Amino acid sequence: MRSWRCKDRLLDVFERPHIMGILNVTPDSFSDGGLHYDREAAVARAIQMVDEGADIIDVGGESTRPGAEPVGEEEEMDRVVPVISAITDRIDVPVSVDTTKAAVAEAALGAGAVIVNDVSAMRHDPAMAKIVEASGAGIVLMHMLGEPRSMQSNPKYLDVVGDVRSALMDWAAGAERAGISSECIAIDPGIGFGKTLQHNQLLIKSVGLFAEYGYPLMVGPSRKSFIGMTLNLPVEERIEGTAAVVAWCVAQGANIIRVHDVAHMSRVVRMVHAIRGAGEVGS
């Protein structure tokens, strides 16, 4: 049975889709910046998300919203490491660190994290591959055009689906050449990261193609601006649009869904998974 290897954990993401709950310990993330900046509030939210159905908690200390300014290494470490340590002390749940910095990843893994979710696909920090390889952590390689401050400045592709697929396969191959086991690698097409409304819609429409490579496929559409643009809704009213995208992605074979609204999306995921796994009529 295939699984996603994350240090000493084997996550059965190919047997059932997993929910990754977003925990931003930042003052400025686009959807929930500042809500869980306090350590105790962050830990309480992590526990709540697990109760609501989260399989993984993803802790981030630097906003990657369009136009976001970078955070220093020490400050990011100070934000995420104590929270990860407190979560892993309190509950037995796989924790991911959302970072592009090798030193932050190393400290987070030492504090109990088992996954590195790197929106730069390990291109931002050349030392990241060594940290991931040495630890045996799971690694999410996400596609982003440019970097957060400039990624939404007129992004262009010859063929967005083909270009993103090709880039992710090149980066996954590079990770394997660096010694990272293929069992540890997951991929993410990077919805909203250097893509227009049409780019995002095309990637979601074709998301099943990304599952064909055999790596766990993660998708993170939660509350993003393409949903707001499609439905003409502010961020706090995008739950139904998010649910529609989540349902589509799970039906097309996505293995990990990264979301804010865990309780609602967990139900969506479980329902779609049940339908996909239903036997033939009359059987």
Output the pLDDT for position 63: 82
Whole-number Cα distances in Å, 257 to 20, 138, 157, 174, 283: 6, 16, 25, 24, 31
Q: How confident is the model at residue 280 (pLDDT cuts 50, 70, 90)?
A: low
Catalytic annotation, pick one of 45, 165, 224, 238 = 224
Residue 96: helix, strand or coil by DSSP? strand
Q: What value does the mean pLDDT take over residues 50-60? A: 98
Q: How confident is the model at residue 64 (pLDDT cuts 50, 70, 90)?
A: confident
CA 238/CA 228 separation, integer angstroms: 7
Output the pLDDT for position 33: 46
Output the pLDDT for position 244: 98
Q: How confident is the model at residue 159 (pLDDT cuts 50, 70, 90)?
A: very high
- CATH architecture of residue range(s) 4-276: Alpha-Beta Barrel (3.20)
Q: Other CB atoms closer than 10 Å to residue 215's CB: what's the count?
A: 23
H-state helical runs in the chain: 39-52, 73-90, 102-110, 128-135, 160-177, 197-205, 225-231, 239-251, 262-276
Does the active-site annotation cover 258?
Answer: yes
pLDDT averaged over the chain?
92
> For residue range 199-233, what is the model confidence (pLDDT) as tens digits?
999 999 999 999 999 999 999 999 999 999 999 99
Output the pLDDT for position 60: 95
Q: How confident is the model at residue 36 (pLDDT cuts 50, 70, 90)?
A: very low
CA 224/CA 264 separation, integer angstroms: 16
Residues 230-235: contacts with CB under 8 Å, at least 24 apart: 230/197, 230/201, 235/30, 235/31
Output the pLDDT for position 116: 98
Query: Taking a C-beta distance cutoff of 8 angstroms, is the pair 81, 44 a contact?
Result: no
Query: Taking a C-beta distance cutoff of 8 angstroms, is the pair 218, 226 a contact?
Result: no
Q: What value does the mean pLDDT take over residues 33-53? A: 83
CA 6/CA 230 separation, integer angstroms: 36
Q: Which of 8-17, 26-35, 84-93, 96-105 has the lowest mean pLDDT?
A: 26-35
Radius of gyration of the chain (CA): 17
Query: Taking a C-beta distance cutoff of 8 angstroms, is the pair 199, 191 a contact?
Result: no
Q: Which residues pair with 81 in a beta bridge?
A: none
Number of alpha carbons in the 13 Å side-chain half-sphere of residue 211: 18
Output the pLDDT for position 149: 62
Catalytic annotation, pick one of 45, 79, 101, 258 = 258
Tokens 């649910």, located at residue: 243
Output the pLDDT for position 148: 67
Q: Which of 21-35, 53-67, 134-148, 244-258 has the lowest mean pLDDT?
A: 21-35
CA 250/CA 18 separation, integer angstroms: 10
Two structure tokens written together for 63? 């906003």
Whole-number Cα distances in Å, 194 to 70, 139, 140, 169, 186: 17, 21, 17, 18, 20
Residue 273: helix, strand or coil by DSSP? helix
**Residue in 92, 130, 95, 85 with CA at minimum distance from that of residue 116:** 95
Per-domain boundaries in the chain: 4-276
Could you give phi then psi for residue 69, rounded to 5 degrees? -85, 145
Tokens 């993803």, located at residue: 58
Q: How confident is the model at residue 70 (pLDDT cuts 50, 70, 90)?
A: confident
Q: What value does the mean pLDDT take over residues 239-249? A: 98
Q: How confident is the model at residue 150 (pLDDT cuts 50, 70, 90)?
A: low
